[in-house]
Amino acid sequence: MEPYVTVTRRGADRLAHGHPWIYRGDVESAPARVESGDVVTIQDGRRKFLGKAFWSARSKIALRLLTRDEEPVDDDFFAERIRSAIDLRRVAFGDEPAVRLVHGEADLLPGLVADRYGDVAVVQTLVPGTDRRKALIADVLAGELGLRTVVQRNDVRVRELEGLPQEKGVLRGEAPGALEYREGEVRLGLDVLEGQKTGAFLDQRENHLAAGGYARGRCVDCFSYAGGFALQLARRASEVTAVEMQPVAAGLLRGNAARNRAGNLSVVEANAFDWLRDESEKAPSWDLVVLDPPAFAKNKEAVPAARRGYKEINLRAMQILKPGGILVTASCSYHVPEAMLEEIVHEAARDAGRPVQVLERRGAGRDHPVLLGVPETRYLKCFVLRLP
């Protein structure tokens, strides 16, 4: 029998409206013996059953809902949830070997991320509830998919909010070694132990492919990282410049350009803000610009500065585009919702004196589903715009 945690009416209403998180301020009472990572039963002030959840003693998010049913939350429960997430990817992607397998709350598995690259899976257990069960998670993934290796990439700062240490390494199998995966016809190398995130940005994969369809003439990909956008552009453009500030990423980018024999792609190691500012002082000469920066707003307090940053790069991008040029602009800041990003882009267009046509509004790929009622699962926004 799980210990009972009583929540306020506001907390109960939050669950009733579909959100799976209860903040610490909405916990009325919890037994002293409950520990981070334990599964608890949630009840309201009238002792009405509301669900079962992971408990966290450190985070502002005290409860993360697992189920609204009175059912056992045991190893079989988690194994079945993981299988269900894998089944979704099989339906959507068939035998695609590079895919996000589990997307946290959106797959009803709070605090768990799992990406697959062929016969290697990379997991992030971001809360005590999943961290205590990472051996089980690795076993289920390896067994279901016949994996050679399961790696943990738990070297992310969000774990510190839960009192968890920074960790990375092999959980199951052998050292992964150098890996490669495909996005369409493009081959991309990755390092799952040292690269950003889990080794690659799978959430942008479908946007990489879509942007490639607009490529022509001279194109530039700012904040390029490993070249996901740049290499798709290079398949159709006459000339592509990839701007990347980090030397390690720039080296990976050059390796990917060589891997794909993209002789029309050049890498510039520079701060994208500086590069765009310098380029904006010249006559417009670019046919397509991609802006895919890191998250500028990690929290609500950072939003004003983030707005300035997003406006700056979008304004400069519009200034360097020729008439008829295409702007692909993205934001992965959850605290900058789509309506705000559109407002920022509109402000930049007014300052640039350029009309803008919206061709596409895009988000993360289908392997990163959005759970209705949980806006945090819809973090990535991507607009495809034309400046006539």
Three-state DSSP at 330 gives: strand
CB within 8 A of 6, min separation 6: which ones? 27, 28, 29, 30, 43, 44, 45, 47
- Do 102 and 109 contact (CB within 8 A), yes or no? yes
Q: Which pLDDT belongs to residue 51? A: 98
| Residue 332 known to be catalytic | yes
Domain map (residue ranges) of the chain: 4-67, 75-177, 180-387
Q: Which pLDDT belongs to residue 373? A: 92
Task: In whole angstroms, give the CA distance from residue 66 to residue 294.
Answer: 30
Q: Which pLDDT belongs to residue 1? A: 82
- Do 377 and 369 contact (CB within 8 A), yes or no? yes
- Do 209 and 218 contact (CB within 8 A), yes or no? no
What CATH number does domain 75-177 carry, 3.40.50.460, 3.30.750.80, 3.10.20.600, 3.40.50.80? 3.30.750.80
Task: In whole angstroms, give the CA distance from residue 349 to residue 134.
Answer: 47
Of the residues 219, 222, 332, 382, only one is catalytic, namely 332
Written out in words, the top-level CATH class of the domain with range 180-387 is alpha beta
- Do 41 and 2 contact (CB within 8 A), yes or no? yes
CA 338 to each of CA 111, 133, 234, 291: distance values in angstroms, whole numbers, following the listed order: 24, 35, 28, 15
Mean pLDDT by 10 residues, the chain (388 residues): 95 96 96 95 97 96 97 98 97 94 97 97 98 97 97 95 95 94 95 90 97 98 97 98 95 96 98 98 97 93 96 98 98 95 98 98 96 94 98
Residue with tokens 């450190």: 58
Common-topology check for domains 4-67 and 180-387: no
CATH topology of domain 4-67: 2.30.130
